[in-house]
Chain A
Amino acid sequence: MQSQMPLYPEQASNFAPQVDNLVYFMIAVCVFFAVVICAAVVYFIFKYQRKTPDEIGVAIHGDLRLEIAWIVLPFPLLLVMFGWGAAIYVDYRHTPTDTLDVYVIGKQWMWKLQQPDGRKEINELHVPVGRNVRLIMGSEDVIHDFSVPSFRVKMDVVPGHYNTMWFRPTKVGKYHFFCSQYCGTDHAVMGGWVTVMEPDEYAKWLSGSSGSGDPVAIGQKLYSELACNTCHLPDGKGRGPSYNGVYLSQVQLADGSTVLADDNYIRESILQPNAKIVAGYVPAMPSFQGLVTEEQIVDLTAYIKSLKDQPPPAKPGAAAPATGNK
Chain B
Amino acid sequence: MSEHIVSPKLYVVIFFSLMVFTLLTVFAATRDFGRWNIVIALVIATIKASLVILFFMHGKYSARRTKLVIVAGFFWLAIMLGLTLADYSTRHAEPSRSQLGNPPSLEIRS
Contact = CB atoms under 8 A, between A and B. Distances in A.
A161 B97 contact: yes
Interface string A99-126: 0000101010000101000101000000
A163 B110 contact: no
Contact of A112 (B93, B94, B108): B108
Interface stretch (B6-14, B28-36, B71-79, B99-107): B99-107
A107 B103 contact: no
B106 A114 contact: yes
A117 to B, nearest CB: 11
B44 to A, nearest CB: 34
A107 B107 CA distance: 11
A74 interface: no
A11 B104 CA distance: 33
B2 interface: no
Interface in A155-192: 161-164
A326 B109 CA distance: 10
A120 B11 CA distance: 72
B94 A164 contact: yes
B110 A286 contact: yes
Contact of B108 (A118, A136, A162, A286): A286
Contacts of A325: 110
Contacts of A103: 103, 106
B102 to A, nearest CB: 9
A99 to B, nearest CB: 12
A197 to B, nearest CB: 22
B64 to A, nearest CB: 29
A162 B100 contact: yes
A94 B93 CA distance: 8
Report the interface size class on chain A: 20 to 34
B96 interface: yes
A112 B100 contact: no
B108 A93 contact: no
A287 interface: yes
B100 A286 contact: no
A107 B109 CA distance: 11
A287 B108 CA distance: 7
B103 A114 contact: yes
Given A162-B97, A163-B94, A290 B105 contact: yes
A274 interface: yes
A136 B100 CA distance: 9
Contacts of A290: 105
A164 B109 CA distance: 23
B103 A287 contact: no
A287 B109 contact: yes
A283 interface: yes
A263 interface: no
A140 B103 contact: no
A240 to B, nearest CB: 12
A161 B96 contact: yes
Which residue among A162, A274, A325 has the maximum number of chain B CB atoms within 10 Å of its CB?
Answer: A162
A164 B108 CA distance: 20
B96 to A, nearest CB: 7
Contacts of B93: 93-94
A323 to B, nearest CB: 10
B100 A107 contact: no
A164 B110 contact: no
Contacts of B97: 138, 161-162
A136 B103 contact: yes
A284 interface: yes
A118 B105 CA distance: 8
A107 B94 contact: no
Contacts of A274: 109
19 contacts: A103-B106, A107-B108, A112-B108, A114-B106, A118-B105, A136-B95, A136-B100, A136-B103, A138-B97, A161-B97, A162-B96, A163-B94, A274-B109, A284-B110, A285-B110, A286-B108, A286-B109, A287-B108, A325-B110
